[in-house]
Chains A and B, each alone.
Chain A
């Protein structure tokens, strides 16, 4: 065999050198056979750089092979390992263990909410995917053939859907969605962010139909604006902001009849009039005069508790003109702005 001078190059010395720590996790287990839950606590030795997912792997590889959870990329892009860590949904791979270990805190890991549990930390994502499917989640250009060049999209128009296209469909937002807890049929933050990804796409030709569908039951106006989805999203998608953008686009298209839309409009109108919200106008203008009459007994109860402001002399801002000036400025901008459209390859050729 030939003499090799640099044989030391085959192995990277110190490749596995790393500082270790002891991590303790309390895990909610769900046994699909007995349909019973329990909590197990494990202590494992992991590198100081370990994520919660690495700690779960250490448990599975060395303590208890029955522990079930989903994982794949371990770099926060595949969306497999959404689970609740101390009660809030997060990606296990994106949550470092060290801060908990340093604080001497035992984290509690449990499955995501709003989805049925299959086993341990694994939930049934089927209802989630159904809702994604429900928003027609693909670009509609009405084209039969693929042209031989690209659409022309101005960089700033492409940026309009930048945040929504970051979504990895992990379900963390849905796990924490308050609206979905009371109405399991609510489309929910993930599907609605996906919907805006197409409404805001300047190549899509189906905007009006999309918005009409989203203004139906269980649609955009059923969001309670709790902002938990924005808070829990591991990728900065900000689904609630996407829902707000869908609301604004709906107004532009004249979809203003939903109670939710009317409710939003009262806020706008009443601040224009007096700089404040006029609560007594809110109910009849949102749910209509007939339903408002039906609610009179409830209103009286509120009045007895001192919760109803005087309807005859509503709050008024001292300098309401400034509010009006701002309002008009915004309205002008909104009216001047046409929906931007990408340039179709055919138009590029003709022009």
Chain B
């Protein structure tokens, strides 16, 4: 077994060069290039991780520890990934603050998911979370401590106990740096600023990826029997979003085109507290620490929808309440007010320094003195690439973990603090499972055939050289506004149908995008265009699924079908790619212990 692995390593330092008239050849490294066909040589690894956020890095570290040759491909440097923007914290039932249990964590998650989460997956998740936290701490994560030196835990929305481990309000930042440190420690190879354009499937098995080298230009075939998708979310399809510019659903689109269905794409979480100017997130920790939401009259309007949990109700509930206040004219300049002034400067400065900085920078208010204007913004894709408990998709060797994946933990609505934990638990599991498969199975023989690379080369060259049509930026803005207006917090058949028509029109118009930049070095005009194509495919899946689901569940709230309908709709939506069109299909939800109950906070 190990013989095989070392053989594949011998061949792994051959580098890809594609020579086309569109972009000059890049560079050749290694000695074995001549053994392959003259124009194209190929890099090989046992496992490729696509994306270098928390899930991707965690997967890579796990695979590397288990002794296989793993490489990370990311369109950004790892520490630039959007996991770093997570603020509030990471959930695990450690029981440091009060009595807590994995069962309780699991139940809160199931209820929060509006019973659409798969309960077997949620049980694994809640059970394995505590040890993963201890491991992160041992790697060096600088978490906030309680007086006894243990990890502090704060209350978060819809959680039965203070369960959220945190580092002030920069938890994601601390974690992304600690995993990057481990990536360096384990000397994992990273292809930085490589943009994956295709996941290649060879005779039903994963064969690797084709990626564009942003820094130098040129298309590279990078072969691996195992590819772990960890590319994150797709919030940029909405105008008001907390997500980074990079969150464009690339991995979802890659998987979809490779023949893997996207699951539950209609469930897109709106975060209740985002800034109007640029969508930047103000953490749920603000409410966890005791912040209030007020309308223009100064009333705490949450009393209507969640009289018990108030501001700490589940995110879908709070977002709907806010949206209603604003749409019914009880907002202030299109926002409601997040009031922290009663918390005092000391608590704000020690527990919420990052939020204060963001409010000052992007809303022009100091929350110590003035409430922050906030509104709901697109935040998190509960749906994603359909995969099993170990992250494997229907294509053997293609795996997914983190926001890109849909295991599904979050069902119709995610609880705050569960997504960071998901990246770690399921990132580790995917890395472990992929590595074990390499050691058991050896080379599956899947290869990227020259013809496949040549076809992709023609497609990219076509985009790169085109100077007719509309600019990617204009289409992206039209998409984002359409989605925010017609597939937002509240949905109707009529609005969704209009939205779908616009998305189809945009997909058509995006066939020819006008690029100004036809060069090969750091061409972000090209990557913007590729990102737009991913966004459009994901948006099509979202709106098609949402139009079909005639009920209200979690984040999917239909004004024309206001009730949850377990009889018909307690099932997962699957979006298949049918020659570029979305084809819907459904699958039952896994229920182990908890039968669906009415959900109130």
Please determine whether chains A and B interact with each other in the same assembly: yes
Cβ contact within 8 Å between A78 and B492: no
CA distance A194 to B364 in the complex (A): 31
Cβ contact within 8 Å between B559 and A4: yes
Cβ contact within 8 Å between A49 and B492: no
Q: Which residues of B contact A138 (CB under 8 A)?
A: 139-140, 181-182, 184-185
Cβ contact within 8 Å between A15 and B138: no
Which among B149, B244, B326 has the greatest number of chain A C-beta atoms within 10 A? B149
Query: What 0/1 pattern do residues 30 to 65 of A give for CB contact below 8 A with B?
Result: 001100000000000001010100100100111011
CA distance A167 to B176 in the complex (A): 12
One of B120-128, B397-405, B479-487 at the interface: B479-487
Q: Which residues of B contact A7 (CB under 8 A)?
A: 492, 494-495, 559
Is residue B444 contacting chain A, with contact meaning CB distance below 8 A? no
Name the prevailing secondary structure of the A interface residues.
loop
Query: What 0/1 pattern do residues 455 to 496 of B give for CB contact below 8 A with A?
Result: 000000000000000011110010001001110111111110
CA distance A151 to B443 in the complex (A): 41
How many interface residues does B have (CB within 8 Å)? Answer: 90
Cβ of B89 to closest chain A Cβ, rounded Å: 15
Cβ contact within 8 Å between A66 and B517: yes
Q: Which residues of B contact A76 (CB under 8 A)?
A: 357-358, 361
Query: Which residue from chain A places its CB closest to the CB of B476 in the assembled complex?
Result: A61
Cβ contact within 8 Å between B327 and A13: yes
Is residue A183 contacting chain B, with contact meaning CB distance below 8 A? no
Query: What 0/1 pattern do residues 62 to 74 of A give for CB contact below 8 A with B?
Result: 1011101111111
Is residue B586 contacting chain A, with contact meaning CB distance below 8 A? no
Is residue A105 contacting chain B, with contact meaning CB distance below 8 A? no
Is residue A153 contacting chain B, with contact meaning CB distance below 8 A? yes
Known: A1-B494, A61-B474, A75-B362. A152 touches B488 (CB 8 A): no
Known: A11-B486, A12-B326, A154-B149. A73 touches B84 (CB 8 A): yes
CA distance A203 to B142 in the complex (A): 10
Is residue A6 contacting chain B, with contact meaning CB distance below 8 A? yes
Cβ contact within 8 Å between B559 and A9: yes
Cβ contact within 8 Å between B278 and A165: no
User: Which residues of B38-90 have CB atoms within 8 Å of chain A's CB atoms?
Assistant: 76-77, 79-82, 84-85
Query: What 0/1 pattern do residues 327 to 345 of B give for CB contact below 8 A with A?
Result: 1000001100000000000
Is residue B174 contacting chain A, with contact meaning CB distance below 8 A? yes
Query: Which residue from chain B places its CB closest to the CB of A202 in the assembled complex?
Result: B149
Cβ contact within 8 Å between B146 and A155: yes
Query: What 0/1 pattern do residues 12 to 38 of A give for CB contact below 8 A with B?
Result: 111111100000000000001100000
Cβ contact within 8 Å between A74 and B244: yes
CA distance A194 to B358 in the complex (A): 24
CA distance A69 to B144 in the complex (A): 35
Q: Which residues of B contact A167 (CB under 8 A)?
A: 177
Cβ of A198 to closest chain B Cβ, rounded Å: 8
Query: Which residue from chain B places its CB closest to the CB of A8 in the assembled complex?
Result: B327
Q: Which residues of A contact B491 (CB under 8 A)?
A: 10
Q: Which residues of A contact B81 (CB under 8 A)?
A: 72, 78
User: Which residues of A196-212 have CB atoms within 8 Å of chain B's CB atoms?
Assistant: 198, 201, 203-204
Is residue A148 contacting chain B, with contact meaning CB distance below 8 A? yes
Known: A74-B280, A148-B134. A65 touches B525 (CB 8 A): yes
Q: Which residues of A contact B137 (CB under 8 A)?
A: 150-151
Cβ contact within 8 Å between A72 and B134: no
Is residue A133 contacting chain B, with contact meaning CB distance below 8 A? yes
Known: A9-B490, A78-B85. A72 touches B245 (CB 8 A): yes
Cβ contact within 8 Å between B490 and A32: no
Cβ contact within 8 Å between B490 and A10: yes
Cβ contact within 8 Å between A54 and B560: no
Known: A1-B560, A65-B516. A72 touches B525 (CB 8 A): no
CA distance A11 to B498 in the complex (A): 13
Is residue A146 contacting chain B, with contact meaning CB distance below 8 A? yes
Cβ of A313 to closest chain B Cβ, rounded Å: 51
CA distance A153 to B173 in the complex (A): 20
Cβ of A212 to closest chain B Cβ, rounded Å: 20
Is residue A303 contacting chain B, with contact meaning CB distance below 8 A? no
B521 interface neighbour in A4, A32, A70, A146, Cβ under 8 Å:
A32
Is residue A184 contacting chain B, with contact meaning CB distance below 8 A? no
Known: A66-B516, A125-B77. A72 touches B488 (CB 8 A): no
Cβ contact within 8 Å between A72 and B485: no
Query: What 0/1 pattern do residues 539 to 577 of B give for CB contact below 8 A with A?
Result: 000000000000000000001100000000000000000
Known: A77-B170, A147-B134. A12 touches B334 (CB 8 A): yes
Is residue B583 contacting chain A, with contact meaning CB distance below 8 A? no
Is residue B239 contacting chain A, with contact meaning CB distance below 8 A? yes
User: Which residues of B288-342 have CB atoms within 8 Å of chain A's CB atoms?
Assistant: 323-324, 326-327, 333-334
B485 interface neighbour in A15, A65, A162, Cβ under 8 Å:
A15
Cβ of A24 to closest chain B Cβ, rounded Å: 20
Is residue B519 contacting chain A, with contact meaning CB distance below 8 A? yes
Cβ contact within 8 Å between A139 and B139: yes
Is residue B271 contacting chain A, with contact meaning CB distance below 8 A? no
Query: Which residue from chain B places its CB closest to the CB of A13 in the assembled complex?
Result: B327
Cβ contact within 8 Å between A201 and B140: yes
Is residue A182 contacting chain B, with contact meaning CB distance below 8 A? no
Is residue A189 contacting chain B, with contact meaning CB distance below 8 A? no
Is residue B27 contacting chain A, with contact meaning CB distance below 8 A? no
Q: Which residues of B contact A69 (CB under 8 A)?
A: 524
Cβ contact within 8 Å between A77 and B85: yes
Q: Which residues of A contact B85 (CB under 8 A)?
A: 73, 75, 77-78
Is residue A119 contacting chain B, with contact meaning CB distance below 8 A? yes
Cβ of A70 to closest chain B Cβ, rounded Å: 8
Cβ of A43 to closest chain B Cβ, rounded Å: 17
Is residue B151 contacting chain A, with contact meaning CB distance below 8 A? yes
Cβ contact within 8 Å between B327 and A9: yes
Q: Which residues of B contact A218 (CB under 8 A)?
A: none
CA distance A214 to B80 in the complex (A): 27
Query: What 0/1 pattern do residues 124 to 144 of A give for CB contact below 8 A with B?
Result: 010001001100011101010
Q: Which residues of B contact A129 (CB under 8 A)?
A: 77
Cβ contact within 8 Å between B559 and A168: no
Is residue A283 contacting chain B, with contact meaning CB distance below 8 A? no
Q: Which residues of B contact A264 (CB under 8 A)?
A: none
CA distance A69 to B133 in the complex (A): 36
Known: A33-B521, A138-B185. A146 touches B80 (CB 8 A): no
Q: Which residues of A contact B170 (CB under 8 A)?
A: 77, 166
Is residue A280 contacting chain B, with contact meaning CB distance below 8 A? no
Q: Which residues of B contact A132 (CB under 8 A)?
A: 184
Is residue B515 contacting chain A, with contact meaning CB distance below 8 A? yes
Cβ of B245 to closest chain A Cβ, rounded Å: 6
Query: Which residue from chain B places its CB closest to the CB of A10 in the assembled complex?
Result: B495
Is residue B597 contacting chain A, with contact meaning CB distance below 8 A? no
Is residue A83 contacting chain B, with contact meaning CB distance below 8 A? no
Cβ contact within 8 Å between A49 and B278: yes
Cβ contact within 8 Å between B471 and A61: yes
Cβ of B197 to closest chain A Cβ, rounded Å: 19
Cβ contact within 8 Å between A78 and B181: no
Is residue A158 contacting chain B, with contact meaning CB distance below 8 A? yes
Q: Which residues of A contact B488 (CB under 8 A)?
A: 10-12
Is residue B148 contacting chain A, with contact meaning CB distance below 8 A? yes
Query: Which residue from chain B places its CB closest to the CB of A94 in the assembled complex?
Result: B361
Query: Which residue from chain A places its CB closest to the CB of B523 in the assembled complex?
Result: A68
Cβ contact within 8 Å between A12 and B375: yes
Q: Which residues of A contact B523 (CB under 8 A)?
A: 68
Is residue B31 contacting chain A, with contact meaning CB distance below 8 A? no
Query: What 0/1 pattern do residues 344 to 371 of B give for CB contact below 8 A with A?
Result: 0000000000100110011010000000
Query: Which residue from chain A places its CB closest to the CB of B132 in the assembled complex?
Result: A146
Q: Which residues of A contact B151 (CB under 8 A)?
A: 150
CA distance A61 to B81 in the complex (A): 23
Q: Which residues of B contact A155 (CB under 8 A)?
A: 144-147, 149
Q: Which 5 A-B pairs have the closest CB atoms?
A: A61-B473, A65-B516, A139-B140, A152-B149, A49-B277
Beyond A15-B484, A119-B522, 4 extra complex contacts between A and B, CB < 8 Å: A4-B492, A13-B327, A49-B278, A72-B245
Sample 11 A-B pairs with CB under 8 A, ordered by A number.
A10-B488, A13-B327, A72-B76, A72-B245, A73-B244, A79-B79, A94-B361, A138-B185, A151-B137, A168-B84, A201-B142
